[in-house]
Each structure stands twice: as C-alpha cells, then as structure tokens.
Structure 1
Amino acid sequence: MPDRDWHAVWPISITTLSSSHKTILGQCNDIKELNYMFQSHGFIHILKKYFGEVVAYVHVTEFQKRGLPHEHMLLIMSSDSKLTNPDGYDKVISAELPNKDKYPILHALVVKHMLHGPCGALRKNCPCMIDGECRFRYPRQFCDATQQGKDSYPIYRRRHDGHQVKVRGAELDNRWVVPYNPGLLMRYNCHINVEACSSIKAVKYLFKYIYKGHDRASFSVDPAVQNDGEVINEIKQYRDARFVGPQESITRICGFPMFSVSPSVLQLQLHLEDMQPITFKEGDNLDDVINRPSSSSTMLTEFFKTNLVDPYARNFLYKEFPEFYRWIKGKKKWQRRKLRGRGQIGRIVYAHPAEGERYFLRVLMNHVKGATSFEDLKSVNGRRCSNFRESCERRGLIETDKSLDDCLTKAATFQIPYALRRLFATILVFCEVTQIRSLWEKHLESMSEDYRRNQPNQAAVEQMVLRDIRDLVHSMGKDISSYGLPDLDLLDDECSNGDSREVQEELSVTFDKEDINMFTSLNKEQRAGFDEILSHVLNRRSQIFFVDGPGGTGKTYLYKALLAKVRSLGQIAIATATSGIAASIMPGGRTAHSRFKIPIRLTDSSTCNFTSPSRVVP
C-alpha cells in the first residue's frame, strides 16, 4: 500500500461545471453499492441529496500505472441548484478542520483522508514537489471568509483559529485541508475532494482522458543467455503493445462503464453538396457504390428533406434537431421523437476558416432555420447568391467579427494553444477582421496557456505568443506589423535574431559537461570517425557518413560524443532514430517519424506530412 492512508480500493473523482460545480473524489468499499453507483445513474441520485438537481454530467475513469484508478465526474446543475455566491459554497464545501468536540467522527475522517502533505518546507522530497514548490499550491493561505477567485475557483474559508493536528510527523492546520463535502465524507469514509468551478478548463481536463486512447507499453523479449558475437536486431525485438493493469482488468471483467455522458451528444455531419464521405468494401464496384441510395443520404441531406415535408421541423436549427428528432442510423433518416425530454445535444462538426465554403456553410447552419436544400441556403430575400460566403454577408452574419469570435471560442474548448495560435494567424491572413485588437485581447489567455505555466510575467507571455504568430503569418507571406497587434520587443534576444521556433528549440537543447570530454576515451576506430566527421562540420563541408558495427561496440557512445561537441560549439545537431527506444538514449533525440512527419504506414506515394505553414529550416 502507498504511504498515504487515503489511497484505498476505489477512489471516485467528480467535478461539476457551470456557475455551480463541484469535484468529488470518493470511494466505495462495498462492491454492491459500487455496482449500483455505475448502473442506472445511481450515483447521480445520491449526489442530488447533497448538491441538488443534476441536469447533465460526464464521467471518465482514469487508470494510472503507479497509482490506483479514480473517477472524474463533471456535473452541471440546474438553475435552482447553482452555487452563485460564497454563502452557497460554504453550505456544501468545507476546507477547515471540524470541531473535534462537536463532530468527533467527522474530525477523525478529515484528519485521516483530507489533509494534504506535509510537503514544502516540512518535507521537501514529497512527490508533489516540483522545482521546490507544491504543484497543488499547498499550504494555502488563511482566509476569514470564502471569496470568488480570479481563476474560476473560489478561495475557500480557512480561518486561523489555532487548531492543529499531527499527521505524518508534522503539525498541520486549516491551510492543509483539501476541500470536501461533510456528507459524502461521512458516507464513504475516504478521500473525497469537492471543488466548485465555472470554467471550460474542467471540460478540457476531463475530455483529454476520453480521447487520449489506451495506455501504451513498449518492451523487448531477450533470451536469458546471449551467445558471444550474436548480432541483436533491436527492430525485430521491439514490441508495441497496449498496457492493461490489474485495476483496469477487474473493471472490465465486472462490466463497469468507464465513460458516460448525459444527455448524449450527437455529432452532426457537415459537407458541401455531393461531397459527403462514402464508405465501401475493398473490391466493390465503384459505380454500384455511387448509385447506391444510401450513398447520397447523410444527416445533412436528410435534414433538408425533413424540412421539405414536415413544417414542424422548420422551427429548429440544424444543431437543435436532435432534441426533437431521432436519427435512425440503419435507415438513414430523421424521425420525430414521441417523448419530450429524451433528446440529444447536437454538435455540428468543426470547420476551419481556411476551408472556405465549408466554413461559411457551417455559419449558415448555425443561424438559418428551415433550409430545404443547399440552394435554399444561398437564397436571401428571394435573391440567389453565388456562394455561401455571399449569403452570410447578405444575412449580416459576417459583417462583424462575431463568426470569427465564435470560431476561436469553439476551438478553445478542445484545441491546444499552439493550434489556436495557428488558427488566429490564419484568420488574420485569410479572413476580413474589423476589430483585430479586441479579438486578440479576448483570446490571448487561451492562446497562451502553455507559456503561462512556467512564465508568471504576463508581458513576457504576450511577447512569446506574438513571436509565434509573427512566424506563422510570415510563413503565409504576410507581415504581422500590418495587423495592428501589440508591438514586438526588438530588444529581446530571442525575438530580434529572427530565428524560427525550430531553431530556438534546437539551440535550447542542453548537453552534459561529462559528454564533452567523451572523445578523449574513444578507441582508435571511434576516434578516426569522430575526427573525420568533426572536420567536415568545422570546415562546412557536406558529407554523408555511415557508422556500422555489431551491438555493444560503442556506436551510441560515439554519437553522444559528437552531439555534445557540436552543441558545445553553439551549433545545431539534430539527433533522430527509427525507434523510440533508440531515440530516447540520445540527448535531445526524436524519432524520424516525429521529426520529419514520416507516415507510420508507407506506400509508394507516401510523402513527409509537413503542414502548409511549416518552414524548412536551412
């Protein structure tokens, strides 16, 4: 068992979203109750007793290699149950040690399960310590009353009342208490964290677990005794496998759901006319596939047909359709729902502004009701437009920056910051933005999430984002100075030297001082190769060298010596390998597939998959 007492059989983590959100880590020692919790929304009914009416939720099980699994759950509460002020937070969430005389059992449970650490100055080698600080920001500050924080999380009440308890050899007070709900803690007798939040970050945090795929494991099978002189083929020995731990195994054996969402979300197709995707089996006759009736029927085309024959359907947007109509996949048609309140949430698939007409089609589908065909969408007040963009303009949908703002807001819910910066650069170059500065100020925070983790200076973060966007805009043939964005600091070394992102990353690769002197211990053959290759580097002469030798003869040793020497001279040395294992043993190494975007499955027509904004570094 780990050294923390609260690690037990089934930690269950829950988070709520909207103006009233809560996060819960809980645990059940009773397998019958655990099964009930996962079946028929049992646990949601339990939560209603403590938090109120739950209108929507999503849960996902996180399995860890070094720790026990736990459940994340995001709850969206009804308007009557939302936590809208500090008094509401205090009713369901506590971050203090309870009165020992008045609540002896609860006090014992909080001491046993809900105290973090000790860490920081009390224990510097605690696993939560990173660069000398606790990554969970403990100990927190004392606070006489609950306050609404700036980062969507409240600052809970932690009064300096002098109460202390001794835990793991240290005296801890209210600053070390993890927020909890007294009722759930008493019910489950386990570590159960409860947080109130109202940020989209909670959604992004949970859904990364849903879409990251199964855990992977790489290993090799080696004989117990190897013959002297035997050549080891690392490529053939490499195995790419899926990792399934004992906790995940028993979860699957018991049939517990590892992900669920309510209400369900239906992804709505989006395509231009006669450009819908078609699936077929290998060997099928393509003429038969094209003439097949189902090939021309999609969610979108059937949406148009339903509007044509059903006047009731014309009252709803495409994204509202699943709430009132049910998509029958086998028959490929929409059917009106008989029972109200059983609908789905519709989400039109994402379209990038650089896609042109498909993007403007999405704008129209989000604002126009009752369309009966693609041509109908192009008609505005009886006048036919030449394309979807013109139709958007005549309807007033893109006269302002609202559609571009919506695009960035939508993308921020699931795209990483660098992808958002690329999207912003694309909008600058290819879209007609009237209020660029306001668009920049509104979305700067989401575009700089990765930089803000390690850089507290907001001005420095802004410059980092500007440099990235400058490089992206430059790769598209434009100058960032023509868009009215904040000025770049030309005194900044990283910015003024004009180097691209790739060059900056390679120049930042560190090398061990011990590796610099490795060339002094090379054998005769290794030293000959080292001197020859280094001579070409220093004299700027191009040459290809092939280093060959049996396993264990020191090829990697030679590579490390060369890499350290070249990098110590202030030059760039790119280390690539065909496998992840080989790349991991070289300083700054990456696989060739990652470095040069080589497809995993190669065909006669395969090419390196560089995206259009990428630049080749000379």
Structure 2
Amino acid sequence: MQQNFQDSLAICKEYGHPDLFVTFTCNPKWVEIQRALASAGSTAASMRPDLVARVFKLKLDAMMSDFMKKDVVGRVIAVNYIGNLHVAVYTIEFQKRGLPHAHIVLWLAEGDKLVSTEDIDHIISAELPDKENDHVGYEAVSQLMMHGPCGEANPRCPCTINGKCSKFYPRPYISTTTMDSDGYVLYRRRDTGITVEVNKIHLENRHVVPYNRGLLVKYQAHINVERCNRSQSIKYLFKYIGKGPDKVTAVMERTDSRYNGPTVAAYTSQEVQLDEVKNYLSCRYVSSAEACWRIFENPIHHREPYVQRLYFHLENEQEVRFYDDDTLPEVLDRVRSDGTMFIQWLLNNRRNETGHDLTFVRYPTMFRWDNSGKFWAPRKQKVDVVGRMVYAHPASGERFYLCLLLNVIVGAKTFEGIHTVDGIVYPTYKEACFHRGLLEACFHRGLLESDKEWNMDLDDASHYATSPQLRELFVTILIFCEVSNPAELWEKHWTALADDIQYTHRRLLQLPMLVINDHDKQALGVEGEFYFIYDHGGTCKTFLRSTILCKLRSEGLIVLAVASSGIASLLIEGGKQLIPDSGYLLT
C-alpha cells in the first residue's frame, strides 16, 4: 500500500491534481447475478461470492473503458513530453458484508476540466429527477443514491453519532452550485418538492448523494461522483495504510462442566470456562468476496501510466540478499557488485551518449530496466512511464541529500561526480547540496540550513502544547533531525516555556493563595523554608505546585518533585514517588 500510494503521488507530481473521484459499489441485485443465482438454485448473492467478484470485475472493466475510450465524463488524458496518454488510478476495497467497491481517480484534459459551476452541473447532479419527465432517472436515483433516513429520524443508522449524521446529511438547500476559496464544491440542491419515500419517511434533494446520470442509469449501482482539485484525494484510496486491514475479534469459550481447565471471568458477572487456546484472537478479516477476488488474481490496485520505481544507494552500500544457509563464496558468486539499478545508470552514462540530458527520474522514458540481466536497455519506441525514486527520509543523512542531487544532476558517471559542483569535489552530498542551492529551493529559502523549519515547529507547538510536550518535541528534533544550531533551538524552546510561565503566573495571581515570588526567594537562597498547603478539592493546589516547578525550571534550575503516593506523583510534572522508609525514588 505504501509503495502504491507513493506511485500515485508520483503521477500527481507529473500531471497535477486529479479532477474526478468516483466510487463504484457492487449491486447484488444486478440482473447478471440474479440470473446466475437462479440457474444455480440459490437466492442470496452472499452464497455465491465468486459470481459477485466476476460480475463486478466485468462491470468495472466496462466502466473504465467508458472513461478511457468513450469519454463519458470528458477526455481522460493528460499531455506530457511524449504526447497524450490516459491517466487514472483505482483501488478495490471490500465491505464487511462482502460487497466490493472501487475508488477511481481520473485526470481530465485541459479543455474538459470542471473549472466552472456550469461544467460541474453538466457532469454531476445532486437532485432527484422529475418523475414525469425522467422516470428512469428518478427510479435509479431513488433506489440507489439516497442517503438515509438517518440522524434523529433513524438513530440506529450506522452513520448516526450522537443523534447526528456523521456524513452531514441532510445537506442544506442551495439554488446554484458554488465553489469556496479552497475549491470545495457545494452542489446545487433546489427545493423542488420532489420526494421519495424510504422506510415511511419522505426524503428530498438534501439526501441525494452526488451522481452522474449516464453512469447511474447504465450500471444501476451506487456510483458517487465528486469533483476534486487536490492530490489529497489520493490518500483516501489508501486509507487502510493508517487504519490497517479489517479485523474480527473471536472469543473461544467452553462451558462444559466436565472441563477442568482454567476459568477466566468474562464481561458478564458469570464465570465461563475457556479452553487452552488464548482468550481472544485478533484476526484479519477477509470476506468471501475478497477471497474469491484474490484467488482469481484480479488487481487490487491499478494505475495508468506505469510507474518505474528507481532504487539508489550510497557508494558501497548496495543491498545484498541471501539465504541463511548461504556461504560467503556462494553469495559473492551470485551477487554482482555492479548489478544495481543505480550503478548501471552510472555505467550506462559512460558507455552510451544517449540520455546524458536526462536525470535519474527521467531515464526510464528512454531506457527500460531489465531485471533479469541487470542492465538498462534502450527503448525501441517511446512509452508512457513515470519514474519515481524511492523515499528517503530527511533523517537518513547522506542518502537524503543524494536523493536531492539526483533530481537535478544529468549524465552522472561516478559517485564522485554527483557531489562535484563547479569542478570542486565536496566531501559530502550535504555540502554539495548547499553549494548547489538545493536546500534553499526544497525547504523554502533555506529552512533546513538555518533551522527555520524546526523553529517554526516549536513556535507552532507553543500555542497548544504543554511544557512536557515542548520538551519532548525539542529532544525529538535534536535526535532525529539535522540541526545545525542547537543553541538557537534551545533559545526558542526556552522562550515558549517562559511564555507559558507568564500565562500561568497571571492566572496564579488571581487566586487567593500564596504568591510565587516568596517561593522564588527561598528556592534561590541558601536556606529553604517549609510550606504546608492545605485546602479542600478544587482550590488549585496542583496548579500551584506545577506553576512553581515550571517557573524554576524555566530559569535553568533543577527541581526534583516527589510525593509519597503514586497518584500524587502523577499529578506533578516530572513527579517521582518516594518509597516510605527506604530512601528510594520510583521513576
């Protein structure tokens, strides 16, 4: 998923943000499925997931053909240095009940982009058609594109949270389609008086999911069509990267009284006897339709054009793969030190004059990588391909700076030539980046070089983060990021902490309690003094202690806060528990 996600972003980088986002959901009532079920003597589509998978694949292929060849929503092409090509990405997901659906992202040609509200109304509608003038369209929308009833009308609906629809239905009436400053579209939803009855509740245009009439009538399925103008839509295609796959929690119990195994208390007050298997098994959930889809080897992800992943490495840091039982001579005989994609690019630049004007990313447009022979071969004809270098994190050091250089250097023949600028060979790729001005271009006027990026992070965090969170952020930046001036970062960190102190100090002065200045005098003097703070709950005793600690620590003093109980120590920032009669601290 991660690799496919980055491949899709490479397409966005090459051709800009997508124009249309289409969600195509399988309809178990399709005539093809019902006819096959009847001939097989079955009635439920869930009993034949193989039929569901096959029919949906046929429908999806037909829809993609309509997009690519018949231009049903406009010309799905983009223009690049080769010519016109089709650009589209889709991914397949499966609902818990088993039905597959496809998320499709399309790029439209310049003349067919939806730049005005009239263009949007021509492709996308969010209203019920007139039943008398367009009976076919009315039936399709009323059966397939209505959201609800939900919210207060149906509290048991899955989308209802705290009495409101999590999808923001019903939407407000609006006389004309509008776009806000961010390009987000509010589709036209007029109060036409046309309604449809669903579960004894009348729904109107405010409950219609945006659709395209031609696609809806032809494929008779839930097909949500939305205009998008940001590459962030690609993230939705790969949301399972963060969510993880669907999971099911299984409980294995045994209530036989003759069983003498261990007993574990269940969620109810009654004790149940469990077998020797673990109490709970958290498993990946694969529906029957998804299993059939994968058995048939149907693609989960599809993209056009092809994306060539380009791997690179530092000198003498090639990746070598071997089996556990391989001997060193066997590894050396099998692995070629120059058999990597990156080294062959350098060697090919020495042997072949063609491609000297191409960067590493553009190289696949004229050469193809032969993975079996480990070499770059000239293409006999130009093809649609997008090159993408594998990701390098800024904390990866020299590898990250090598990646920056490879985006601009053409015709490199050696590793040394990559970090050579104006005839001067610099010892590191980072220094070469500085002298080429790449860091200024990539990090907006030298954010990385002057630590402005990290200062901005600390400045933003100071508006919402607490003192411990700011300290944690500061340490994280020092450990994992390239910091050229830690003292400047500490100054920024201390300033944010001092601002926090001023705020808490102002609040403290409003309380009928001790003034913090008295504590400052005792803490900074040679002799201390004992204070006993006693009052009922809710009088800000913990707030007073935290403010005193924060004030002293902001001045560079080391303050150790201890408490006799674990709960009390947790209430103090950086608090430690003192074990009675032992002299030890629990940290």
Q: The TM-score by the shorter chain falls in which range?
A: 0.5 to 0.7
* CA-atom RMSD in angstroms: 4.0
Q: Indicate whether 1:24 and 2:65 are aligned.
A: no
Judged with a 3 Å threshold, the aligned counterparts in structure 2 of structure 1 residues 468 and 363 are, in CA distance, closer, same or farther, namely farther
Aligned with 1:71: secondary structure?
strand
State how 1:179-258 maps to structure 2 within 5 Å.
179-209=210-240, 215-219=246-250, 221-222=252-253, 225=256, 227-231=258-262, 241-258=283-300
Judged with a 3 Å threshold, the aligned counterparts in structure 2 of structure 1 residues 66 and 35 are, in CA distance, closer, same or farther, namely closer
Q: Indicate whether 1:93 and 2:110 are aligned.
A: no
Aligned-pair CA distance for 1:125: 3.0
Maintained 8 Å contact 1:36/1:43? no
Q: Indicate whether 1:312 and 2:343 are aligned.
A: no
Aligned with 1:199: secondary structure?
coil
Aligned-pair CA distance for 1:82: 1.9
Aligned pair partner of 2:417 in 376, 389, 395: 376
**Deviation readout 1:164-209 (Å, 9 max, x if unpaired):** 3333222222211110001011101222111011222211111234
Q: Indicate whether 1:321 and 2:363 are aligned.
A: yes
Given residue 248 of structure 1, which amino acid in structure 2 is its aligned partner? E
Aligned pair partner of 2:154 in 123, 126, 137: 123
Aligned-pair CA distance for 1:313: 1.4
**Deviation readout 1:446-501 (Å, 9 max, x if unpaired):** xx9xxxxxxxxxxx9x62599856531145566867459996873888xx99xxxx
Aligned pair partner of 2:307 in 265, 270, 274: 265
Aligned pair partner of 1:133 in 164, 173, 182: 164
Judged with a 3 Å threshold, the aligned counterparts in structure 2 of structure 1 residues 379 and 46 are, in CA distance, closer, same or farther, namely closer
Structure 2 Cα separation of the partners of residues 62 and 371 of structure 1: 43
Aligned-pair CA distance for 1:68: 2.5
Matching residue of 2:323: 281
Aligned-pair CA distance for 1:377: 0.7
Aligned-pair CA distance for 1:362: 0.5
Aligned pair partner of 2:449 in 432, 454, 457: 432
Structure 2 Cα separation of the partners of residues 298 and 49 of structure 1: 44
Judged with a 3 Å threshold, the aligned counterparts in structure 2 of structure 1 residues 215 and 117 are, in CA distance, closer, same or farther, namely closer
Aligned-pair CA distance for 1:100: 2.3
Aligned-pair CA distance for 1:94: 0.5
Structure 1 Cα separation of the partners of residues 121 and 316 of structure 2: 57
Judged with a 3 Å threshold, the aligned counterparts in structure 2 of structure 1 residues 299 and 200 are, in CA distance, closer, same or farther, namely same
State how 1:137-536 maps to structure 2 within 5 Å.
137-150=168-181, 152-209=183-240, 215-219=246-250, 221-222=252-253, 225=256, 227-231=258-262, 241-290=283-332, 292=334, 294-343=336-385, 345-398=386-439, 400=440, 402-404=441-443, 431-433=448-450, 436=453, 463-464=464-465, 471-476=472-477, 482-483=491-492, 490=500
**Deviation readout 1:358-404 (Å, 9 max, x if unpaired):** 11101000111111111011211222111111111221212x2x323
Structure 2 Cα separation of the partners of residues 118 and 150 of structure 1: 31
Structure 1 Cα separation of the partners of residues 144 and 503 of structure 2: 49
**Deviation readout 1:268-289 (Å, 9 max, x if unpaired):** 1121101011001122222442
Which moved further from structure 2: 228-237 or 292-301?
228-237
Structure 1 Cα separation of the partners of residues 56 and 185 of structure 2: 30
Given residue 118 of structure 1, which amino acid in structure 2 is its aligned partner? P
Aligned-pair CA distance for 1:35: 4.2
Maintained 8 Å contact 1:27/1:188? no
Structure 2 Cα separation of the partners of residues 327 and 103 of structure 1: 54
Which moved further from structure 2: 150-159 or 111-120?
150-159
Maintained 8 Å contact 1:269/1:348? yes
Judged with a 3 Å threshold, the aligned counterparts in structure 2 of structure 1 residues 26 and 485 are, in CA distance, closer, same or farther, namely farther
Q: Indicate whether 1:48 and 2:71 are aligned.
A: yes
Aligned with 1:62: secondary structure?
strand
What stretches of structure 2 of length at least 5 have no aligned partner? 1-14, 34-53, 78-85, 263-273, 479-485, 509-561, 574-585
User: How many aligned positions are there?
Assistant: 454
TM-score (norm 2): 0.67
Judged with a 3 Å threshold, the aligned counterparts in structure 2 of structure 1 residues 64 and 86 are, in CA distance, closer, same or farther, namely same
Aligned-pair CA distance for 1:80: 3.0
Structure 2 Cα separation of the partners of residues 98 and 63 of structure 1: 30
Which moved further from structure 2: 387-396 or 159-168?
159-168
Greater relative contact order: 1 or 2 (C-alpha under 8 angstroms, separation 6 or more)? 2
Judged with a 3 Å threshold, the aligned counterparts in structure 2 of structure 1 residues 366 and 158 are, in CA distance, closer, same or farther, namely same
Aligned-pair CA distance for 1:110: 1.3
Judged with a 3 Å threshold, the aligned counterparts in structure 2 of structure 1 residues 391 and 254 are, in CA distance, closer, same or farther, namely closer
**Deviation readout 1:229-272 (Å, 9 max, x if unpaired):** 42356565765654332221332344432222221222211211
Structure 2 Cα separation of the partners of residues 466 and 46 of structure 1: 59
Maintained 8 Å contact 1:26/1:191? yes
Given residue 180 of structure 1, which amino acid in structure 2 is its aligned partner? Y
TM-score (norm 1): 0.64
Structure 2 Cα separation of the partners of residues 436 and 485 of structure 1: 17
Aligned-pair CA distance for 1:351: 1.4
Aligned with 1:107: secondary structure?
helix
